[in-house]
């Protein structure tokens, strides 16, 4: 019986590039890699029997994928849809379980804080959505829509009635403008705050360095060596940090930081120095602003909105300090904490670049507009609910 002649394969440059990525890609599935090798061998004019010997496949398998590529091109290398077993659950049942996952358990009368896949399966079965349902099936359904009801994120709603104007002033300063006028070369923007209660925890067993297939190990028990406050002033446009440590926070420690900064150049002879601070007790309200200007006439205090410390760029620096200096906390005494903070500040100032702040006043307007729409929708929903 005559054997069918192998179909010749001719590749375009684009097809050859894609096939090579499939054949040699580290993340390519094994089946796709084998099929790509078959086509690449066929493009070199090799017979099906030769390709079968080199790839370890059956000659019929080689003939199949060679023929599919010859007739259909790259789409021919994909798996064809198979009928398989009929689905055990309807699309309506799947949608009902997903809708249940998008409700708070308290809204359904279930005494849970968050849904888990086993709890969703149990609740769906109790409601008669399906006679029997496994947690793995629920997990697969939720994964298709990236639903993770067992996770949660916290947030805080805006309560400051002047949030927009206050935030806009801070964002304008980051863009080197004030009241519509650009800042001059002898005007500076300082972002300042305190990082409270940095403890000196002396571990009861020395910290073990990381090794092969082993993370660094920190002993859980420790002795307390006291705590201190770390006060920092960050020059926004020059990426320079000036700091000091104090036994505690308060008005006097904060003014000590201000004095330390304002008594050195270029801030001492600057035309204006803007101090961006949050609403902490050390620098809250108009009294703090007056106290600053009284001590240094060229200094102006600018407050962020209430509960908006994220607008203060020094918080980014504090997060760096927390990750690179403080954690994991293993210090013999407070002197070691001070030395580490001072040495890191010198190291940071030697290479730091200004933060690429991308949240602008336009983004602020969009955020406030979204919150207004959310508030309006929530009020409509509340008014639409029937009263008893």
> What does DSSP assign to residue 332?
S
- Assign 3-class secondary structure to 265-302: CCCCCCCEEEEEECCCHHHCHHHHHHHHHHHCCCEEEE
Q: Predicted confidence band at 79 (pLDDT cuts at 50, 70, 90)?
A: confident
Instruction: Indicate if the pLDDT at residue 57 is higher than 60.
Output: yes
Quote the pLDDT of residue 3. 55
Q: Predicted confidence band at 374 (pLDDT cuts at 50, 70, 90)?
A: confident
SS3 state of residue 102: coil
Quote the pLDDT of residue 174. 95
> Model confidence over 241-292: pLDDT tens digits?
999 999 999 999 999 999 999 999 999 999 999 999 999 999 999 999 999 9
**168 CB-near residues (< 8 Å, 6+ apart):** 361, 364
Quote the pLDDT of residue 1. 45
Number of CB atoms found within 10 A of residue 163's CB: 19
Residues in the chain, total: 388
Q: What kind and span of H or E run contains 163?
A: helix 163-174
* Mean pLDDT value of segment 39-56: 91
> Model confidence over 325-366: pLDDT tens digits?
999 998 989 999 999 999 999 999 999 999 999 888 898 989
Instruction: Indicate if the pLDDT at residue 387 is higher than 70.
Output: no
Buried b (16+ CB within 10 A) or exposed e, 333-356: ebeebbebbeebbeebeeebeeee
Quote the pLDDT of residue 157. 80
Average pLDDT, the chain: 90
Query: DSSP of 217-284, one letter per residue?
Result: B--S-EEEEEEEEEEEEEETTTTEEEEEEESS-SHHHHHHHHHHHHTSTTTTT-SEEEEEE-S-GGG-
Quote the pLDDT of residue 80. 85
Number of CB atoms found within 10 A of residue 238's CB: 13
Quote the pLDDT of residue 315. 95
* Nearest in space to 317 (alpha carbons), one of 278, 283, 344, 281: 344
Query: DSSP of 40-71, one letter per residue?
Result: HHHHTT--HHHHHHHHT--HHHHHHHHHHHHH
The whole-angstrom separation of Cα 280 and Cα 3 is 86
* Nearest in space to 38 (alpha carbons), one of 23, 25, 28, 27: 23
For the chain, the distance separating the N- and C-terminal CA atoms, rounded to the nearest angstrom, is 86
> Model confidence over 202-251: pLDDT tens digits?
888 888 889 888 898 988 888 898 999 999 999 999 999 999 999 999 99
Quote the pLDDT of residue 159. 83
Q: Predicted confidence band at 370 (pLDDT cuts at 50, 70, 90)?
A: confident
More confident residue, 382 or 254: 254
Token pair belonging to 53: 């010997």
> Model confidence over 135-192: pLDDT tens digits?
999 999 999 999 999 999 888 888 888 999 999 999 999 999 999 999 999 999 999 9
Q: Predicted confidence band at 384 (pLDDT cuts at 50, 70, 90)?
A: low
């Amino acid at each position: 019986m005559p054997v069918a002649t192998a179909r010749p394969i001719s590749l375009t440059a684009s097809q050859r590039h894609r096939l090579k990525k499939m054949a040699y890609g580290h993340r390519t599935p094994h089946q796709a890699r084998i099929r790509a090798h078959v086509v690449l061998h066929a493009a070199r004019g090799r017979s099906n029997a030769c390709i079968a010997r080199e790839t370890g496949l059956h000659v019929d398998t080689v003939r199949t994928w060679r023929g599919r590529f010859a007739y259909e091109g790259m789409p021919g290398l994909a798996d064809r849809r198979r009928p398989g077993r009929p689905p055990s659950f309807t699309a309506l049942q799947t949608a009902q379980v997903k809708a249940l996952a998008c409700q708070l358990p308290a809204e359904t009368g279930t005494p849970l804080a968050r849904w888990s896949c086993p709890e969703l399966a149990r609740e769906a079965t109790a409601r008669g959505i399906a006679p029997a349902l496994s947690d793995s099936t629920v997990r697969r359904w939720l994964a298709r829509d990236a639903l993770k009801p067992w996770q949660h994120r916290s947030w805080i709603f805006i309560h400051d009635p002047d949030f927009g104007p206050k935030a806009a002033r801070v964002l304008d300063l980051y863009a080197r403008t004030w009241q519509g006028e650009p800042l001059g070369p002898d005007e500076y923007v300082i972002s300042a705050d305190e990082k409270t209660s940095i403890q000196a925890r002396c571990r009861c067993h020395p910290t073990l360095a990381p090794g092969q297939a082993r993370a660094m190990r920190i002993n859980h028990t420790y002795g307390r060596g006291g705590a201190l406050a770390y006060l920092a002033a960050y020059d926004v446009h020059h990426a320079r940090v000036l700091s000091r440590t104090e036994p505690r926070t308060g008005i006097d420690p904060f003014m000590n930081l201000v004095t330390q900064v304002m008594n050195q150049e270029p801030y001492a002879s600057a035309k204006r120095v803007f101090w961006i601070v949050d609403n902490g007790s050390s620098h809250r309200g108009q009294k703090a602003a007056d106290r600053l200007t009284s001590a240094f006439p060229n200094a102006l205090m600018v407050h962020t909105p209430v509960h908006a410390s994220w607008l203060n760029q020094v918080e980014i620096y504090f997060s760096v300090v927390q990750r690179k200096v403080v954690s994991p906390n293993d210090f013999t005494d407070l002197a070691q904490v001070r030395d580490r903070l001072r040495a890191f500040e010198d190291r940071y100032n030697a290479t730091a670049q200004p933060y690429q702040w991308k949240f602008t006043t336009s983004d602020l307007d969009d955020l406030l507009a979204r919150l207004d729409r959310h508030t309006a929708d929530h009020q409509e929903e509340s008014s639409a609910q029937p009263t008893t």
